[in-house]
A and B are shown apart, each in its own frame.
Chain A
Amino acid sequence: MENSIYGTHRPELERDMAWLEKEVGKIRGELKNTLGMDPIEHILARIKTEESMREKCRRNGLPETPESALVTIHDAIGLRIVCAFVDDIYAIRNRIRALPDVTVVLEKDYIRHAKPNGYRSYHMILQLSDGHYAEIQLRTISMDTWAALEHHMKYKQDTGPQTGLIIHELKRCADELASTDLSMQTIRDMIQDANAEQTDPISDQKNRS
């Protein structure tokens, strides 16, 4: 790969990605202990392919150079963390913020403020100790499902007169899924409260007396 858009930096990117995956794995293990359940459904990690990085440079009017790919553009390394519940996203976010040797450059909460089309996700841009950037996307399973379908839609612009209807209905689905996510979270909290009460010795005594 003499003419890689990443120049000679690809091995560094791979090391960085592996390090991030390892750190997120540690966070996952810790949360698993405190929550009593795995907060992460799955993790996807990738280095942006040559073609799509070059395409992104062209789309943004940037020269196709390592400078553009590694300094101007911040998602050469990408990690998508798909969680079971909404609160887990914020728990993981807090721990990523606290990672050693990592600077959080930018955060965008598209969960609190969904994009007009209904897209929901939590985005973080990190700068690692060697100066490289990584983008982390945190979302729930249903946010991920929605994004997958919406992504598919984007590449089928030929839906003709139905486009408006489809966009409107996708937004409706996004708002319904968000609502369901919150209901599921509320039910999990209720189950955890019930479990906590059962194992709490003080309330045990109260129940007995």
Chain B
Amino acid sequence: MKLLLAEDTADLNRALTAILAHEGYAVDSVFDGEDALLHIQTDSYDVIILDIMMPKMDGITVLRSARNLNILTPVLLLTAKSEIDDRVDGLDAGADDYLTKPFSMKELLARVRALTRRGTSYHPDDIRYRDASLRSESFELVCENTVRLSVKEFELLQTFMLNPGRTIETSFLIGHIWNGEPEATPDTVNLYVSFLRRKLRSVSSQIEISGDEEQGYVLE
């Protein structure tokens, strides 16, 4: 189990990292919001713990950006005070749970355990980009013609269609689409991108996926 911890108070960050590591989690710890978002975009985690008040970028903005990228990893927010507005904003931005400081380590660990039991769910809506649409109920790719995608192809294309024009790293795709499965390699990603390229052509869509496993991929 891999966790990302974003907490700017150095002592608390160190203490939480040590305790979580002691519990057997692999922990990446960062001290500001920008660094947190960078880690979220390039790596993959089972749970993300975000402090709200952080330099450079606050936790809620980080959370919103992650959800916009269709990253559905469970997020636990740490709020400095029991401000109702903070909690409401956080939950509305897509947090799964929150914890008000000061909290007991026992409770933090229990909440992390609860979140790791929760699976991530699909983006529920149909997505349209340029001439193509992707139907999440039926996994159909529709343009002039229709083909039905496999689960991995669907998740991959969904990630691209929600982030057009943005370069997506191979490591990110292995982490999020293949959940870091040991059999999944950059070649796997490349093959699945090739499947999608051909299937986009077969429905006569103008959408193209450029790039390769080294540079990452961009939907255009």
Q: Enumerate chain A interface residues (CB-CB to B < 8 A).
A: 86, 112-114, 172, 175-176, 178-179, 182-183, 185-187, 189-190
| Contact status of A113 and B194, CB under 8 A, knowing A178-B202, A179-B150 | no
Chain A residues, CB < 8 A from B146: 114, 175
- Chain B: minimal CB distance from A44 (Å): 25
How many angstroms from the CA of A127 to the CA of B21 in the assembled complex? 77
- Residues A190 and B191 in contact in the complex (CB < 8 Å), given A112-B204, A175-B140, A185-B198: yes
Taken together as a complex, chains A and B put the C-alpha atoms of A168 and B138 apart, in Å, by 12
A87 to chain B, nearest CB (A): 10
A143 to chain B, nearest CB (A): 13
Q: Which residues of the partner chain B approach A86 to less than 8 Å between Cβ atoms?
A: 202
Sorting the interface of chain B by its residue count into under 10, 10 to 19, 20 to 34 or 35 or more gives 10 to 19
Residues of B within 8 A of A172 (CB): 138, 148
- The answer to whether A175 touches B198, judged by C-beta atoms less than 8 angstroms apart, is no
Chain A residues within an 8 Å CB radius of B150: 179, 183
A179–B149 CB distance below 8 A: yes
Please determine whether A113 and B198 come into contact, CB atoms closer than 8 angstroms: no
CB distance from A109 to the nearest CB of B (A): 10
Which single residue of chain B is at the shortest CB-CB distance from A173? B148
The contact of A186 among B144, B191, B204, by CB within 8 Å, is B191
Q: Residue B122 at the A interface, CB < 8 A?
A: no
Which chain B residues (120-173) contact chain A, with CB distance < 8 Å?
138, 140, 144-150, 153
Q: Bound complex: CA of A183 vs CA of B198, how far in Å?
A: 8
Pairs across A and B, CB under 8 Å, 9 listed: A114-B146, A175-B146, A175-B148, A179-B147, A183-B195, A186-B195, A187-B191, A189-B194, A190-B191
Sample of 13 more A-B contacts, CB < 8 Å, known A113-B144, A179-B148: A86-B202, A112-B144, A112-B145, A113-B145, A172-B148, A178-B148, A179-B149, A182-B147, A182-B198, A182-B199, A185-B198, A186-B195, A190-B194
Tell me, in angstroms, the Cα distance from A81 to B153 when the chains sit together: 30
A182 touches B144 (CB 8 A): no
| Chain B residues within an 8 Å CB radius of A112 | 144-145, 202, 204
- Taken residue by residue from 183 to 220, chain B's Cβ proximity to chain A (1 for < 8 Å, 0 otherwise) reads as 00000000100110011001010000000000000000
Q: With CB as the reference atom, state the residue of chain B lying closest to A120.
A: B145
